[in-house]
Amino acid sequence: MTPRRRLAGVGSFALASALLLSACGGGSGDDTGETSAEGDSSGIVTVSSGEPQNPLTPGMTNEVYGGLVVKNIYEGLVSYDAEGAVHNEVAESIESDDNKTWTITIKDGWEFSDGTPVTASSFVDSWKYIANIENAQNQQYFFNGFKGYDPEKPSDIAVEVVDDHTFTAELSVPSSDFELWLGYSAFYPMPEAFFEDPEAFADEPIGNGPYEIESWEHDQQISLRPSDSYAGERTPANGGIDMIAYTEEDAAYNDLLSDNLDIITNVPASAFGTFEDDLGDRAVNQPAAVIQVVNVPEWVEEFQGEAGVKRRKAISMAIDRPTITETIYQGARTPAHDFTSPVIDGYSEDIPGSEILEYNADEAKKLWDEAQSESPIADDYTLLIASNADSDHQTWVDAVCNNIRQVLEIGCEFDPYTTFDEFLDARDNQEIKGIFRGGWQADWPSMSNFLGPIYGTGAGSNDMKYSSKAFDAKLDEAAAAESPEDATALYKEAQEILFQDVPGIPLWYQNATAGYSQAVENVQFGWDSDPILYQVTKSE
């Protein structure tokens, strides 16, 4: 988030919105080839970043700056490649007969950088700790699929050590994509040193990843160097990573242009129009696992019932997504065709019902008029689109409103909230009187992660209070599916239901907009918008 951005998108780097707003990257990346032998393996790669907002532990880090460090100093049971496919790292095998009770065996020979071995209890203790409300961990939420999880009171999730190299995990409902979860940072192991003194550990985290922290100058720079004890697939092809803190994306961009910096993870909005010319084939611009929507709250009267659904569809069809993404974002957003993201396995542009995401002025007006005759609302009706205003949201809201005013011949206005937390307050207290901005960045590369947590009845991020029995049932069915292919087919059917009810109106996918200098090679951005740092080589 970036922080940045201070002038153009004031405050978009605020911690609060960092998770979603400063997210970028993703896609399969242009294939820069394998980790080749070219380049100097001792070159230090510099990356634009910022001061981590939380202790660098799997349980606390939940924003992009800290996330990039944590991903490189720890290693999980599995790791993701650029396409989001999982590869075993610490895990020897992850097996289950019923998608519910899983048995995990881990490989021999893994060590933390303090020399202690990675055992089954490194995972079990860490997971139990993070999942327990008593420990007030930011990442507690990610264990909500485990049996015994409780967001309200102290709890003990059903994860048990069998022997040094084996443990079991029991989920509350079957989940066919459990393996995909395990590359996420909340599931990384922690050494005994953490449990002895969590505060001291936060200053000098000890991981089992490809890198370890050599030095950390707060607010300025974090230096990572290859770890001797690393035993996984992601062996560093460079001499280390220096993460340089920037308060403005523009400053980082100018440093990149003058070759003072190797990789920027986010192109500033001011350079959207020019960065592909400036950088040539060193520019990265591909859809990421981030979708932006406007949510339709169930508590607003005019969007309830049959007529309400017609109004939702009318609004969706009144929005000219390709024009807005082209003119406002200069192509740094991709018009949405579903409720997930193009980088997710099983993504499809022709799910039945998805035609409401196409601009169709006549049909939109017709639907709105039908709704008016069925259940009329005032002729001088003004639609409000709510969002926090501390980031650059006014621009797109104005554009969407222009569409709506012209096509539906109703009023439409931006309903700004000064800060992100004020917006959250109003949203959670159901004080918002129109539709409101929403967005989702995937935690792991799976369709279920885009659907369940947002549209499931009572789900954590179901801010519009949508509830559909048919949809819930379809999700359960998909989670228990025998194969990933079956699951994908069912998730598509679940999306058909969403296209009928329109609890949210998908707008566009955020793109990875990034770039790198002439000094580095083999730069790829992963499905999760982060650069895959271990394989970068630096020629000097």
Partner 1 sequence: MLSYLGRRILQLIPVFLGATLLLYAMVFLRPGDPIAALGGERGLPEATQEAIRAEYNLDKPFIVQYLLFLRGVVTLDFGVDFRGREITEVIANAFPVTMQLALMALVIEAVFGIGFGLIAGLRKGKFFDGTVMVLSLTLIAVPTFVLGFIMQIVVGVNLGWLPVTVGNNPDFVSLLMPAIVLAGTSFAYVLRLTRTSVAENSTADYVRTARARGLGRYQVTTRHVLRNSLIPVVTFIGADLGALMSGSIITEGIFNIHGVGGTLYDAITRGESVTVVAMTTVLVVVYIAANLLVDLLYAALDPRIRYA
Which residues of the chain form contacts with partner 1 (CB under 8 A)? 3-4, 6-7, 11, 14-20, 51-55, 62-63, 133-134, 136-138, 140-141, 151-153, 199, 202, 217-221, 244-248, 250-252, 254-255, 257-258, 260, 390, 417-425, 428, 438-441, 453, 460-461
Closest to partner 1 by CB, 101 or 270: 270
Choose among 504, 497, 475: nearest CA to 488: 475
Closest to partner 1 by CB, 63 or 528: 63
Evaluated on CA atoms 278, 281, 283, 288, the torsion sign reads positive
- Least separation in angstroms between CB 422 and partner 1: 4
- Least separation in angstroms between CB 252 and partner 1: 7
- Least separation in angstroms between CB 271 and partner 1: 11
CA distance 511 to 23: 9
Token representation of residue 342? 């193009």
Choose among 63, 243, 176, 259: nearest CA to 477: 176
Closest to partner 1 by CB, 26 or 439: 439
Neighbours of 287 (CB within 10 A): 25
Closest to partner 1 by CB, 327 or 418: 418
Closest to partner 1 by CB, 215 or 235: 215
- Least separation in angstroms between CB 495 and partner 1: 20
Mapped onto helix, strand or coil, the DSSP state of residue 146 is: strand
CA distance 438 to 454: 10
- Least separation in angstroms between CB 378 and partner 1: 29
Closest to partner 1 by CB, 438 or 456: 438
- Least separation in angstroms between CB 386 and partner 1: 14
- Least separation in angstroms between CB 217 and partner 1: 6
- Least separation in angstroms between CB 421 and partner 1: 4
Place of tokens 């012209």: 406
Choose among 385, 409, 389: nearest CA to 397: 385
Neighbours of 469 (CB within 10 A): 9
Question: Which long-range contacts does 142-149 make (Cβ < 8 Å, 24+ apart)?
Answer: 142/181, 142/184, 142/186, 142/187, 142/443, 143/186, 144/460, 145/171, 145/172, 145/173, 145/175, 145/181, 146/170, 146/171, 146/172, 147/171, 147/172
Number of residues in the chain: 540
Closest to partner 1 by CB, 274 or 406: 274
Closest to partner 1 by CB, 453 or 484: 453
| Phi, psi dihedral angles at 5 (to 5 degrees) | 65, -10
